[in-house]
Amino acid sequence: MEELSQAFKALGVLSPSGNTLSEPFPVNMMFEQKILGLWDRMFVQHSSLLAIKSPSLTPAAVFDASGHRKRFVDYVVRDTVTKEIFRADHYLRDWLSSHAGKGDTEGMGLEELSQAFKALGVLSPSGNTLSEPFPVNMMFSTALGPIEGAAAFLRPETAQAQFLNFKRLLECNNGKMPFGSASVGSAFRNEISPRSGLLRVREFTMAEIEYFADPLDSTHAEIDTVHAVVLPLLAAERQGTAGQCEKVAVKDAVEKGLFQNGIQPYFLARAFLFLERLGIDMERVRVRQHLPTERAHYSTDCWDIEISTSHGWTECVGVSDRGTYDLDCHNRAANTRLTVTVPIKPVKEKKLFLDIDKKLFGKHFRGESQELAQHLNTLDTEELGCVKKELEEKGEATVLTGGKEHTVPGEMLGVTLKEVTVCSRTYTPRVIEPSFGIGRILYCLLEHSFWSREEDENRVVFSFLPHIAPVQAAVVQLGASESAQREIVVKIKNILAERGIVCETDFSTASIGRKYSRFDEMGIPVVFTVDYDSPKNNSVTVRYRDTKEQKTIQDWQRVGLEVGDLLLSGHALR
């Protein structure tokens, strides 16, 4: 671990300080741009997703409706003497591992936690008693307007803006279903005890897709393009004590009924291919289904792509089935109809209709008549059925509105069954959400790319694929820095730069071996060395990072043609 953090420092990424906010390093930024660039090509452009950018600040009402204000919480306990705060499940887990053997505390509810703390007599690190576990909301709160502003939160996910703008997005897609939208941006979670590095920070970059589909047709038109992708699946029921992944082709997994729809496996497979093209070691990846206890409040099923690092299995991508939860919530809370209406082959249907004698009704209920009538008009088929039954049985109907019971006499209210022709169907779309934690993926990529040379463990290498490496090539010379060779170095650099290849040069007096080492530490895939003879015979040596193999290119003017395309590709260079 010491070795790794030294190497990170040399590479110029991450923070040595364990900052809880993300860290501004130029190399971090270059990596993030490369990762997001590939993501854009493999998801947004590949599937014509509608990309939007939405604000981080979000009015509180949105999270009232979405349930986040009430349910996006962690449970904490407080040292009754020092007043220190601890995240209850993490504290219990650590306490268990040092007192009573290991135990899984992830996803424990308030009740469960409370019982466990009591039963085990858990004390604070200072040996004091702890408070009862209680919930704290994980969103950052602020106010819109500098004085007495309206309550607002920083978004904990980019999803809500995509839900709220569903109608506009549908319009942009010419009214056609299904479709996906996408948003890349910061998300904010007010973690109780953020850890160092990029794994648990309070502000992080997410890339999220919301795929809107008809709940009656949850296939994906392109599923056959990923049929052959083999996923290391760890379904919920396999997660016992000795739970092992099983490697299953998407086609077989779908046929076996491992997924509740065709959209989740499609995106899991695409995400798998994405991680592979980034250069993640796919032998250290698994696709794990959430246990019912660990699902978010909006999720009906979720599969995570987890990547193994020295910090354990790390959730990097989640593909959650949010069902119709979110759009239903917003429809209930506001006067929106985030729904889709599609024409259907006309069918005759029997439907219940309400008939109010307005004159009598108005006289009887006076000031309350309008509200009551409005309420009656929103009753659905089932509720109308009850009213009908009551009218038939008792000659009157009891209606509850505004917390008050009203008795409506039968003479002013009727419910009749009529046959109508129905030409359209209105539904709330089901949402599948593939969500990517970009910083975590970057962290895993750094760890997986890192190794030391067998012959000398101090010689470390980052084996980034050329299209991901912040610097793709280095150009050096063997002779003195002011010479004909230097001219060739600059010209090679320019040839490569014109092709969009980022180049490093090094005119220092360090030995060539020392320079190669430094370039390996920077993860530069190839080095071009201009030899003593180059000005005479035009040749140049290319040295490949991973194998240290060297090859002669006869004409340095052809470096672009010889390796240029490869340097922009997703292929490893040998």
Residue numbers at the binding site for a copy of itself (CB under 8 A): 12, 20-22, 24-30, 32, 50-57, 74, 76, 85, 136-138, 140-149, 154, 161-162, 165, 168-169, 172, 181, 183, 186, 188, 190-192, 202-203, 205
**Closer CB to a copy of itself, 59 or 103, in the complex:** 59
Kindly state the smallest distance separating residue 53's Cβ from a copy of itself, in Å.
5
DSSP one-letter string for 416-465: EEEEEEEEEEEEPPEEEEEEEEHHHHHHHHHHHHEEEETTEEEEEEE---
Return the C-alpha torsion angle 556, 479, 464, 195, nearest 10.
-150
**Closer CB to a copy of itself, 99 or 168, in the complex:** 168
**Closer CB to a copy of itself, 185 or 362, in the complex:** 185
Kindly state the smallest distance separating residue 157's Cβ from a copy of itself, in Å.
14
At residue 188, the 3 state secondary structure works out as strand
Kindly state the smallest distance separating residue 389's Cβ from a copy of itself, in Å.
44
**Closer CB to a copy of itself, 133 or 262, in the complex:** 133
Kindly state the smallest distance separating residue 57's Cβ from a copy of itself, in Å.
5
Bridge-based pairing of strands 50-51 and 179-188 is parallel
Kindly state the smallest distance separating residue 4's Cβ from a copy of itself, in Å.
20
Kindly state the smallest distance separating residue 328's Cβ from a copy of itself, in Å.
21
At residue 98, the 3 state secondary structure works out as helix
Residue 327 neighbours by CB under 8 Å, 6+ apart: 163, 166, 338, 339, 428, 429, 431
Kindly state the smallest distance separating residue 496's Cβ from a copy of itself, in Å.
14
**Closer CB to a copy of itself, 139 or 492, in the complex:** 139
Nearest by Cα to 250 from 269, 264, 267: 269
16 preceded by a cis bond (ω within 30 of 0): no
**Closer CB to a copy of itself, 53 or 536, in the complex:** 53
Phi, psi angle pair for 508, to nearest 5°? -70, 170
CA angle 422, 426, 430 (to 5 degrees): 150
State the chain's maximal CA–CA distance in angstroms.
109
**Closer CB to a copy of itself, 53 or 574, in the complex:** 53
- CB 543, CB 511: distance < 8 Å: no
Kindly state the smallest distance separating residue 197's Cβ from a copy of itself, in Å.
15
**Closer CB to a copy of itself, 162 or 517, in the complex:** 162
Interaxial angle between packed helices 369-377 and 358-365, expressed in degrees from 0 to 180 and rounded to the nearest 10? 130
